[in-house]
Structure 1
Amino acid sequence: MAEETRRPTDSFFRRNGLSLVAAALMIGSLVGQLLTGHAVYNEERGELGLAALSFAQYLVSGHALSSTFENWESEFLQMGMFVLLTVVLRQKGSSESRPMRAEDENPRIDPGPTPWPVRKGGLWKSLYGHSLAIAFMALFALSFALHAFGSWERDGVERMARHEASLALGDYVLSSQFWFESFQNWQSEFLAVLSLVLLSIWLRQKDSPQSKPLEAPHSQTGE
């Protein structure tokens, strides 16, 4: 049996357009960040009396690692926590919440092969049942570690230029500078989640799966 029924007009882009456009926007923004970050960092190095870096050198510098993974860290934390919080918590009227009553939950499952971890059962099924949150939190942990390493390396370069002693990695991770970088991103991500949860109670976006139907009352919870 085919994995899914496809109409002859279903092109590759039609089937994958959302992820392709999102990936293109992400890659384009990342390239823009790296190009402008390269220029900014070389200006900073010039002010410190240090030699400019080539673009290839910049890609593995603490400045590039820190600025990239500082943001990725907060995004993965946002999505991981949102996935976990929506398991047990509700918000009446929000399209981002599960229904208030368990009997209202009746998800439609499209016909097709059952994922193999479900067929396997046991530990595999249990892990698969939490795999989305596990993946997000693992990506958050990796991004957090790379953010810490990149920021520590950048701080070390700046201290060296000022003829100051460098901090050990552990000491830097406990510093206010590192946590300032983290918290300023975390709070914005949680604000975005809060905004989506609350605004979806009263506002609509026609044809968006993140919105309730136009005719739905404000009190309706879930899509």
Structure 2
Amino acid sequence: MKKTLRNNSLTLAFTALLLVALVGQALTGRAGYNESALDLGLPTASMLEYLTSSQFTVDVAENWQSEYLQFLLYILLTVWLLQRGSPESKPLGSPGRETDEDHKAGRYADDHSPRWAAVGGWRTALFSRSLGPTMGAVFIGSWSAQFIAGRSAYNAEQLQDLQVPFSWSQYLVAPDFWNRSFQSWQSEFLAVASMVIFSVYLRERGSPESKPVGTSNTATGVEG
């Protein structure tokens, strides 16, 4: 058990942090929701009612879709684009998909290679490009959830203000939907760009996201 926990500690730690953050979001979000409801003379929501509300769903989905978009673009762009001196980049002379030999794919697979990496044909081709489409599917799913829940939350406010609710097509081009999206995206792009360039000049001893402390600032694709 101890070995299993140690070997999966990074995933478990971030899963625990996710749950803590979701609980915190639920508690503070419900408090803010009920404050607004009292100010407007509307019924307050129980925790279960708030957790199943469009307001909570759109806030969660808005954050999730931007995170998966960040990783989708990062995975795909780092295939071809490089950054001199960053451990987040491949070495400067190796943009592109690289060879089967580089990736131990097909006839170059060894005894420890995943089965689909070794069998060749369409299965190896699919496995070789499985991470990006998976991230893309989660992004599309969470962005769709943001769109559906966002329209519901927006229309609830419209009805409170005695305004006409929006149709699906109207909400698709509405400022509310795109403002939520762009607001999330810009923060993710800033974070990635900062990580890429900061890692050229700064170090974090012991982290695989950092170069070794004494490595040259111009060394590219070198991880600690």
What TM-score does the superposition give when structure 1 sets the normalisation length?
Answer: 0.89
Relative contact order (C-alpha < 8 Å, sep 6+): which is higher? 1
Shift in Å, 1:53: 1.6
Which residue of 12, 15, 21 corresponds with 1:20?
12
Aligned length: 214
Matched, 1:146 2:145: yes
Write the distance in 2 (CA, Å) between the matches of 1:28 and 1:107: 40
1:36: which partner in 2? 28
Write the distance in 2 (CA, Å) between the matches of 1:94 and 1:191: 16
1:220: which partner in 2? 219
Write the distance in 2 (CA, Å) between the matches of 1:159 and 1:151: 12
Shift in Å, 1:199: 0.5
Alignment-mate amino acid for residue 128 of structure 1: F
Shift in Å, 1:206: 0.4
Write the distance in 2 (CA, Å) between the matches of 1:137 and 1:49: 42
2:200: which partner in 1? 201
Alignment-mate amino acid for residue 47 of structure 1: D
Percent identical residues: 37
Two-structure CA RMSD over aligned residues (Å): 2.2
C-alpha distance after superposition, 1:30-53 (max 9, x if no partner):
111011111111222233332112
State how 1:98-113 maps to structure 2 within 5 Å: 98-102=90-94, 113=112
State how 1:1-223 maps to structure 2 within 5 Å: 11-102=3-94, 113-223=112-222
Shift in Å, 1:10: 6.5
Write the distance in 2 (CA, Å) between the matches of 1:129 and 1:83: 13
Gaps of 5+ in 1: 1-8
Write the distance in 1 (CA, Å) between the matches of 2:115 and 2:2: 26
Write the distance in 2 (CA, Å) between the matches of 1:41 and 1:170: 27
Write the distance in 1 (CA, Å) between the matches of 2:120 and 2:27: 48
Write the distance in 1 (CA, Å) between the matches of 2:26 and 2:124: 40
Write the distance in 2 (CA, Å) between the matches of 1:108 and 1:148: 39
Shift in Å, 1:57: 1.4
Write the distance in 2 (CA, Å) between the matches of 1:111 and 1:17: 27
* Worse-superposed segment, 119-128 or 171-180: 119-128
